Amino acid sequence: QSALTQPPSASGTPGQSVTISCTGTSSDVGGYNYVSWYQQHPGKAPKLMIYDVTKRPSGVPDRFSGSKSGNTASLTVSGLQAEDEADYYCSSYAGRKTVVFGGGTKLTVL
Amino acid sequence: QVQLQESGPGLVKPSETLSLTCTVSDDSISSYYWGWIRQPPGKGLEWIGYIYYSVTTYYNPSLKSRVTISVDTSKNQFFLNLSSVTAADTAVYYCARVFGYNDPRVFDVWGQGTMVTVAS
């Protein structure tokens, strides 16, 4: 069970769209439509932003969207705002009641 | 909205057992999976394991030999024991509610986290 691969960093200016990728294998990301994305501000607990690839929990702005193609999932943040600056982690169900996380991406709003 | 609160020692000696408690604010502990996730300083998240209704447990294969998760439904609490700890187990430990009965996969409510340092 290896960690999912995310780029260490991403950036954009206010109002822009930014996409963060999350690459796994056919045993996790590619095998299930069960990818989640979490936002984590410094010193805080992670917050669920997207689950089951495309679903948004109540209260999460629709500026956040998710997608998947093959073994790679993506999180897109549209209309970037200063408060979106945070670390973002993907996770995927990996079968047999196991979960694997990505290494995290630091999103900077320039 | 349910709230979770971790508690336990902030310092554990090498080779000893790390023990943490997560208290759930309502009576839903019998209705969900409940899990533990950790985050070493400056690093990413690592799934440790989860439990359902004090009967079924699932663990990260890399930690399975050292981890035990249990639950006390009468107290709305679940627990993490990690044995034979080393400095590599130093991390913030989070408890979380897990969504998905057949395929538990989404950590939708998190505790604030508790820092545990392994040092002599």
Concatenated DSSP letters of A2-55: PPBB--SEEEE-TT--EEEEEE--TTTTTT-S-EEEEEE-TTS--EEEEBTTTB
**Among candidate residues A66, A28, A29, the one with its CA nearest the CA of residue A50:** A66
Check residue B21 and give its pLDDT. 98
Cross-chain residue pair A89–B99, CB shorter than 8 Å: no
Whether B10 shows a pLDDT value over 90: the answer reads: yes
Average pLDDT over residues A7-21: 97
Cross-chain residue pair B94–A93, CB shorter than 8 Å: no
A93 interfacial to chain B (CB closer than 8 Å): yes
pLDDT digits (tens, 9 = 90+) for A46-95: 999 999 999 999 999 999 999 999 999 999 999 999 999 999 999 999 99
Check residue B100 and give its pLDDT. 85
A51 interfacial to chain B (CB closer than 8 Å): yes
Whether B101 shows a pLDDT value over 90: the answer reads: no
pLDDT digits (tens, 9 = 90+) for B63-87: 999 999 999 999 999 999 999 999 9
Task: Give the three-class secondary structure for B92.
Answer: strand
Check residue A2 and give its pLDDT. 87
User: Which tokens is B34 given?
Assistant: 């409940």
- Compute the nearest-CA separation of B16 from chain A (Å): 26
Question: Using H for helix, E for strand and C for coil, what is the string for B46-68?
Answer: EEEEEEECCCEEEECCCCCCCEE
**B44, B58, B61 member nearest A104 (Cβ):** B44
Stronger pLDDT, B67 or B56, i.e. the higher one: B67
Cross-chain residue pair A38–B107, CB shorter than 8 Å: yes
- A95 DSSP 8-state letter: S
Check residue B102 and give its pLDDT. 84
Check residue A100 and give its pLDDT. 97
pLDDT digits (tens, 9 = 90+) for B21-34: 999 998 888 889 99
Whether A1 shows a pLDDT value over 80: the answer reads: no
Q: Which of 11-40 (B) contact A at CB < 8 A?
A: 37
Cβ proximity of B49 and B35 under 8 Å: yes
Check residue A86 and give its pLDDT. 98
Question: Residue B58's pLDDT band (boundaries 50, 70, 90)?
Answer: very high
Average pLDDT over residues A85-106: 96
**Among candidate residues B30, B67, B61, B79, the one with its CA nearest the CA of residue A95:** B61
User: Which tokens is A88 given?
Assistant: 């973002």
Check residue B12 and give its pLDDT. 98
Distance CA B21, CA B69 (A): 10
Mean pLDDT (chain B, rounded): 95
User: Which tokens is B103 given?
Assistant: 């395929």
CA-CA distances (angstroms) from residue B91 to A66, A85, B50, B95, B116? 29, 23, 18, 13, 6
Handedness of CA A106, A108, B3, B4 (dihedral sign): positive
Mean pLDDT (chain A, rounded): 97
